[in-house]
Structure 1
Amino acid sequence: MIHKILILTLEPYLAYLFFVLIGWVIERKVNSVEVNRLNPIRLNLECGLLYELTAAITLTVAPAFTTVGVNAAGGGWIVLPSSGWTLFPAFLLYAFTMDFFEYLFHRAQHRIPILWSMHSLHHSDAAINASTTNRHYWAEFAIKSMTIYMMGGIIFKVSSTIIGFYVVLGFYNFFPHMNLRVGLGRWWMVLNSPQYHRIHHSSLREHWNCNFSGLFPIFDVIFGTFHIPKQGEYPPTGLDTGEHPSGLIEAAFWPVRSLWRGAKVIDGLKVE
């Protein structure tokens, strides 16, 4: 079991390091919003490793909570094709459905206090960059496994090919988190971009509760949570309170830290 956990931890983490390195190089070659500080990047790398470790433990100890696990147990109302010309439409259907679930979960993270107490760790990065992508609280993967990933397995019976395509598509998430002055202009609705997602990470009240979509902003359009970036609009990021973890230990106990301070944290606003 330990050997399997190590493999499931190191493989995605090495991929994470690769994309962080690529992003770090691009962010210094292209017109970036700000110069990334090394200390937050180091903390992000540490948080990313802890997140991948807990994800690996979840996959090993409770595989039934994943889409593949639910399928193996007999789940999957809709059987998606695994080959032929219908494979690509099937993959798009799966990708859009799962991104919709990601959108709903993200909305919940900003509305339910206990979920926000964890998710605020991701938003506490005042120097958003490619390494911020996996700066998530370590328990979030298990929660998503028992909710949206399980739901994906209940609805769809998917092949390893579609799962593989979806994993590859997931690497796109590094791009919207990059510290770049890059937007899609009039095509903002097609895909998430660094400018569009930076609005979501903004510490300014005027940008709160918008641009939740992970891959496809169309869900923000449908539910009225979109904010169309204006030309040159690249706001500061981080929590409005200025709170951020001083190190990995504090990040690992981030929600409890909020309770220790006797504060209720909702949508980035600390209410005593």
Structure 2
Amino acid sequence: MKVVDIATSIAINTLPMLALVLLAMLAERRKPVERPALAAARLNLPYLLVYGSSGPLTSMALGSLTVAAVNMAGGGWISLRADGWRLLPSFLAYLLVLDLLEYLFHRAQHRFAWLWAMHSLHHSDPAMNASTVVRHFWLEPALKALTIYLLAGLLFATPGVILGMYAVLGFYHIVPHMNLRLGFGRGWWLLNSPQFHRIHHSALPQHYNCNFASLFPAFDLLFRTHHVPQPGEFPPTGLDQAPTTLWQAFSWPFRYRQPADEASAPAPSSNPAVRNTSK
């Protein structure tokens, strides 16, 4: 592969997300939950660049590519239409089903030890902010491609325009991670917010194993995993351990350990070594 092709691939994978994260970090300064922690961003932003340049398994578009590939191979039990007025209901149907699958996958990440070993990298950020959105173990996109997006391709024959709309909407995930005093009040169940998702990342025991939603907290309400944010409720975040170098982030599942007797329940709620949040 030519150097120019590699550079183009890296740019496509990283630059849009990097630009939006930087803009969100500027917006956080207006009304932050806590003083911005530049140390976390100094790891997260270079991690995005390395993560995005490490090959197709980490591509942000891998899920959509998987759906398209399965459709080309003959998958797609339900044919979605994107012509005229049918585009909106087709997109909403695809969006809701994919968000449900994301919710279920997220629940599994907090239930099974081998998935939690990877996902705990995301939860290890001691100062959650917009750059936390890219702090995921590099193998996770491939696992999602082989599970929820494979299933989506078998369920739906999805037009490319819908896949593109879904990929663009994915940039919204920056917002719930922002270090920002922003919640949606009584409309908390309509769309994920920085307050609702911060509770999911909380280091406090009363917040363990709740608010798993990706976009729509209505799924947490449906499955009774919701914690309704209270006015002014913005807890501290993080785990007892956190990477300090890129290599530690890339090898995270082999570094983060929990007590052996906690292996059957690997979510943060089962970890007695959650970092001390007392000031």
Q: Same-fold call, TM > 0.5?
A: yes
**Distance between the aligned counterparts of 1:11 and 1:217, measured in 2?**
30
Which residue of structure 2 lines up, in the alignment, with residue 68 of structure 1?
68
The answer to whether the Cα contact below 8 Å between 1:65 and 1:150 also exists between their aligned partners in 2 is no
Amino acid at match of 1:94: Y
**Distance between the aligned counterparts of 1:260 and 1:237, measured in 2?**
18
Q: Secondary structure at the match of 1:51?
A: helix
**Distance between the aligned counterparts of 1:37 and 1:247, measured in 2?**
16
Q: Which runs of 5+ in 1 are unaligned?
A: none
Q: Which runs of 5+ in 2 are unaligned?
A: 274-279
CA distance 1:149–1:7, shift in 2 (3 Å): farther
Which residue of structure 2 lines up, in the alignment, with residue 149 of structure 1?
149
Amino acid at match of 2:144: K
Listed as ranges, the matches of 1:161-172 within 5 Å are 161-172=161-172
Deviations 1:96-152 (A, max 9, x none): 100000000000000000000000000000111111111100110111110011111
Which residue of structure 2 lines up, in the alignment, with residue 15 of structure 1?
16
CA distance 1:58–1:210, shift in 2 (3 Å): closer
**Distance between the aligned counterparts of 2:242 and 2:179, measured in 1?**
18
Q: Secondary structure at the match of 1:175?
A: helix
CA distance 1:264–1:13, shift in 2 (3 Å): farther
Which residue of structure 2 lines up, in the alignment, with residue 41 of structure 1?
41
**Distance between the aligned counterparts of 1:99 and 1:121, measured in 2?**
22
What is the aligned-residue RMSD (CA, Å)?
2.3
The answer to whether the Cα contact below 8 Å between 1:24 and 1:130 also exists between their aligned partners in 2 is yes
CA distance 1:64–1:48, shift in 2 (3 Å): closer
CA distance 1:7–1:68, shift in 2 (3 Å): farther
Amino acid at match of 2:252: W
**Distance between the aligned counterparts of 1:58 and 1:130, measured in 2?**
19
CA distance 1:234–1:88, shift in 2 (3 Å): same
Q: Secondary structure at the match of 2:12?
A: helix
The answer to whether the Cα contact below 8 Å between 2:51 and 2:58 also exists between their aligned partners in 1 is no
**Distance between the aligned counterparts of 2:197 and 2:227, measured in 1?**
10
**Distance between the aligned counterparts of 1:148 and 1:237, measured in 2?**
28
CA distance 1:188–1:259, shift in 2 (3 Å): closer
Listed as ranges, the matches of 1:64-213 within 5 Å are 66-213=66-213
| Deviation for aligned residue 1:270 | 3.9
CA distance 1:26–1:260, shift in 2 (3 Å): closer
Which residue of structure 2 lines up, in the alignment, with residue 249 of structure 1?
247
Q: Which runs of 4+ in 1 moved over 3 A?
A: 1-9, 62-65, 259-265, 269-272
The answer to whether the Cα contact below 8 Å between 1:109 and 1:115 also exists between their aligned partners in 2 is yes
**Distance between the aligned counterparts of 2:203 and 2:81, measured in 1?**
44
Amino acid at match of 1:24: M
CA distance 1:207–1:5, shift in 2 (3 Å): farther
Percent identity over the alignment is 48
**Distance between the aligned counterparts of 2:256 and 2:58, measured in 1?**
25
**Distance between the aligned counterparts of 2:262 and 2:11, measured in 1?**
36
**Distance between the aligned counterparts of 1:19 and 1:65, measured in 2?**
22
Q: Secondary structure at the match of 2:90?
A: helix
